[in-house]
Structure 1
Amino acid sequence: MIRSLRGRLFIGLTAIILLTGAIGGMFAYRWAFDEAIELQDSILVQLASLAQNASFSGGQPLHGVEEDSEVWLIELGKTPSGVTDDRQLFTLPDGLQAAMWKNQPVRMLLRTRPDGSRFAVAQPTTVRDETARDVAFRTLLPIAALIPCLMVVTALVIAYSLRPMVQLAGDLDARRADDMTSLPLSGVPSELHPFISSINGLFKRMRLLRDQQRRFVADAAHELRTPITALSLQAENLETVALPKRARERVATLKQGMHRTKHLLEQLLALARHEALPSGPAGMPLAALDQAAKEAAADLLAEASDRGIDLGFAIVEPLTVHGEPAMLAAIIRNLLENALRFTPRGGTIDIGVYQEDSTAVLQVEDTGPGIPSIDMDQIFEPFFRGSRPEGEGTGLGLAIVKRIVDSLGGGIALENIAGAGRSGLRVTVRLPIAGDLKSSADVGSGA
């Protein structure tokens, strides 16, 4: 069963072309054959008109009219005489006749001259039919050549007619998963308008559901943050109270859980806030990427030192990009926190900020275990912590980074580092650069 619309159209139209060509060819062949027979009859009439007032020796071929036509002029005289065939021909009336002569069927035209003598112009039927078939076959050649040309033209017309559908599918495939903007109807064939309208209606319902979900998550996180903060303060106050060792251990566990819950709520709020941002850097202020990286590294330097991890810059260049400083800080801080969480004691984390062509590159490279290949396809999904989660991660850090990078018109790539005696993960963020190095340096210095 052919499920392709293009295949169905091509096969259907091809069948119509072949059927029409066969029927038309049959009628054309028959028409050409009959026309060729009539043409040869007219030749016999013309030759008879030439021989009407002249006599020739009987049974001689007439060449010059058509070399292979085998036309014969037969003198029958005034009375039946000669061979049996000639006597039989003499008894036939004037006009075009089908007869036998020299043991072969012929087509002949008999005439009587004014002096009473008779003659016949004859041509073998086999020669006439062969000539007619040859003429008729030649009329079929253009039709036979036209059919494949029509099939090619049909395929091209079908491909051109279905191009808007292919382009529409390509546009949908190229979209990000969260891009639910309506498809335009301008420049699209009217036959696709109901289909596109249905897709736009689906996008509208999905946008509504997504917005409701985001509002719910943001509202829930916001409402929970206040009581969690209050509980955290109460847990902090318990440290000044003399408690048994077992109670202090429980309080420490409670504080750890409170800290994890508070961090989760902050990440949920950040995710909801950044998902509400429009995509693209247009209209955003300028911010120094190098300055944001330095500040984020300085904030986490003490934590890295406590864990015995060497955190520093491999390269740093003054670069300016479009974006809020808080957005850049969220990108860098989440990447560094992930690297700190998975890098073992004694490892290193290298930060790179540099320009590559017209792109600002932020690179964070650690000496941790990397990301399993089975997790790569889901690593940017919210709450996905991978097949080997560690620490107090919420599974939202990379989702937030991905959303912010997309909103800034950039891209992010993760690459496992595999070499002799080492492993790790390299995260590369690319953002459109804004301004030259001098203006970037001015922004970074607060000028």
Structure 2
Amino acid sequence: MTYSLRGRLFIGLALLIVSTGLGAGLVGFRWAFDEAIETQDTILHQIGAIALNTRLPSDAPINAGVDAEARVFVEELGDRPSGSTDARSLWTLKDGLHIVSRDNQPWRILLRTRPDGSRFVIGQTTAIRDEIARDSAFHTILPFLALAPCLMLVIAIVVWQSLRPMIKLAGQLDARRSDDLGKLSLEGTPLELHPFIASINRLLERIHAMMEQQRRFVADAAHELRTPITAISLQAENLSQTELPPDSRDRLTALKSGARRTAHLLEQLLALARSDMDRMPEAPVTSLDRCAKEVVADFIATASDRGVDLGFEIIEPAAVKGEAAMLTSVIQNLLDNALRHTRQGGRVDIGVYREGAKVILQIDDTGPGIPPCDLERVFEPFVRGSRPTEEGTGLGLSIVKRIVERLNGSVTLENVPKSGLRATVSFPLVEQGS
């Protein structure tokens, strides 16, 4: 089961803030409500202190409002019980604050007696008082309610920024070449990631040691096998000089062919091991067009024997950074692959040219091409595709890809309609003299 650490942090912090905010809001609302009620009681006392020395006219209406917003009402009761039943019932109460029922609704009243014996009452309906208190309490917590979304946004930004180093680290790992097993730097990374980075570095060290051991084994095995294979080839050549029956001659031919394939395989294994070695710190600048001319000159005889027209379609002066031996190996393997799959009477055209800031090596053949399902797989070691030839080892294209990537280039294969296969290698352009 997968989950998002960023999502968990955001949800957890958001729930904490929301729950804390709700609790604080309820407490704040209740506190502000009670304060508003007390303030209104204070207003009744203040109005009572004023009315204590000011007698209202006897003909004033019973609910003459003195504050339109607070809806506070003052009523003169006179110096003896009179008037309505509600007014007479107030004479039974002592001076002070009371809650009574008047006009079939609850009222909060302040009853006072003047020095001359007259009494008066100041009151508000509890509904009005509660409405005023609720409005006051709501305005008290309104800033917090408006702040909550801002806090959520800040939390999201903080969580995203806090986890950004992990995303950056993952991007650095993804951008690395497959053969780059150098240690990850701790510089500029948060302390919490240091144990994780240290673990990755230890894993990279173990992988590097394992790959080095594998490379040495392949190189040593191939090197040790070259001597007996060379001896077998020499003995087969010597044996071919003697008179042999036709049946033995056929077996000798098969032996020589097998020895050649084995020797070619060993050479490819050695080339693969060399291509996996650590890159030189500063590669020299090499003329790619010169390497291509030399390789084509070596393959002219082979192409002629197979009846294949081999030549340059375009060739321009172009320099790239890389060892001449590595570039030669790339061209040799691509040409060998093209000639092996091109039928008699076909063509293999080579192009070396500039394209913007790139140098392009292009090799077209008129062979059958590669099935689309194999276009990517053929770059894997020992994968020969669904139409293998007897002479192939399945290592040539793998060697090409590793060398090209080591030189910061790229290689692609594509089937050209009604033509054959096109191999395109791209290298960064280096200006002569740089």
Q: Same fold, TM exceeding 0.5?
A: yes
3-state SS of 2:82 partner: coil
Partners of 1:2 and 1:116 in 2: how far apart?
A: 83
Deviates more, 1:149-158 or 1:21-30: 149-158
Equivalent in the alignment of 1:119? 120
| Alignment of 1:142 onto 2:143 | yes
Partners of 1:81 and 1:328 in 2: how far apart?
A: 120
Equivalent in the alignment of 1:425? 421
Partners of 2:251 and 2:344 in 1: how far apart?
A: 27
Please list the CA deviations of residues 45-87 of structure 1 after superposition, one character each: whole Å capped at 9, or x if unmatched. Answer: 121122111111354445463x232211111111222222111
Partners of 2:321 and 2:172 in 1: how far apart?
A: 26
| Alignment of 1:168 onto 2:164 | no
Equivalent in the alignment of 1:394? 393
Shift of 1:259: 0.4
Partners of 2:278 and 2:196 in 1: how far apart?
A: 29
Partners of 1:176 and 1:286 in 2: how far apart?
A: 22
| Alignment of 1:306 onto 2:302 | no
Deviates more, 1:87-96 or 1:231-240: 87-96
Please list the CA deviations of residues 285-321 of structure 1 after superposition, one character each: whole Å capped at 9, or x if unmatched. Answer: 2211111111111111121122221111111001112
1:30 partner letter? R
Alignment gaps of 5+ in structure 2 = none
**Contact 1:277/1:407, CA 8 A, preserved across alignment:** no
Partners of 1:331 and 1:104 in 2: how far apart?
A: 100
Partners of 1:109 and 1:64 in 2: how far apart?
A: 14
Shift of 1:103: 2.7
3-state SS of 1:111 partner: strand
2:184 partner letter? L
Please list the CA deviations of residues 18-50 of structure 1 after superposition, one character each: whole Å capped at 9, or x if unmatched. Answer: 211211111111111111111111111121122
3-state SS of 1:248 partner: helix
Equivalent in the alignment of 1:243? 244
Shift of 1:17: 1.6
**Contact 2:100/2:109, CA 8 A, preserved across alignment:** yes
Partners of 2:31 and 2:278 in 1: how far apart?
A: 75
3-state SS of 1:370 partner: coil
Equivalent in the alignment of 2:191? 190
Partners of 1:10 and 1:204 in 2: how far apart?
A: 36
Correspondence 1:199-214 to 2 at 5 A: 199-214=200-215
Correspondence 1:263-342 to 2 at 5 A: 263-278=264-279, 283-342=282-341
Partners of 2:367 and 2:351 in 1: how far apart?
A: 17
Equivalent in the alignment of 1:445? none
2:102 partner letter? W
3-state SS of 2:144 partner: helix
Shift of 1:364: 0.8
Equivalent in the alignment of 2:431? 435
Partners of 1:327 and 1:406 in 2: how far apart?
A: 11
1:306 partner letter? D
Partners of 1:268 and 1:232 in 2: how far apart?
A: 19
| Alignment of 1:153 onto 2:149 | no
Partners of 1:426 and 1:39 in 2: how far apart?
A: 90
Equivalent in the alignment of 2:347? 348
Please give the root-mean-square deviation of Cα atoms over the aligned residues, in Å.
1.7
Equivalent in the alignment of 2:180? 179
**Contact 2:219/2:273, CA 8 A, preserved across alignment:** yes
Partners of 2:431 and 2:102 in 1: how far apart?
A: 104
3-state SS of 2:376 partner: helix
Cα distance change on mapping 1:428 and 1:315 into 2, 3 Å: same
Equivalent in the alignment of 2:380? 381
Please list the CA deviations of residues 128-159 of structure 1 after superposition, one character each: whole Å capped at 9, or x if unmatched. Answer: 11111222223333333222222222222111
Q: What percent identity do the matched residue pairs reach?
A: 58
**Contact 1:341/1:391, CA 8 A, preserved across alignment:** no
1:391 partner letter? E
Correspondence 1:23-172 to 2 at 5 A: 23-57=23-57, 58-61=60-63, 63=65, 65=67, 67-172=68-173
3-state SS of 1:379 partner: helix
What TM-score comes out, normalization by structure 1 length?
A: 0.93
3-state SS of 1:240 partner: coil
Partners of 2:66 and 2:349 in 1: how far apart?
A: 101
**Contact 2:66/2:72, CA 8 A, preserved across alignment:** no
What TM-score comes out, normalization by structure 2 length?
A: 0.95
Shift of 1:168: 1.5
Shift of 1:243: 0.7
3-state SS of 2:384 partner: coil
Equivalent in the alignment of 1:444? none
Shift of 1:336: 0.4
Shift of 1:193: 1.3
Count of paired positions:
432
1:256 partner letter? S
Partners of 2:186 and 2:393 in 1: how far apart?
A: 42
Partners of 1:11 and 1:287 in 2: how far apart?
A: 58
2:421 partner letter? L
Alignment gaps of 5+ in structure 1 = 441-447
Partners of 1:248 and 1:342 in 2: how far apart?
A: 28
Partners of 2:128 and 2:401 in 1: how far apart?
A: 86
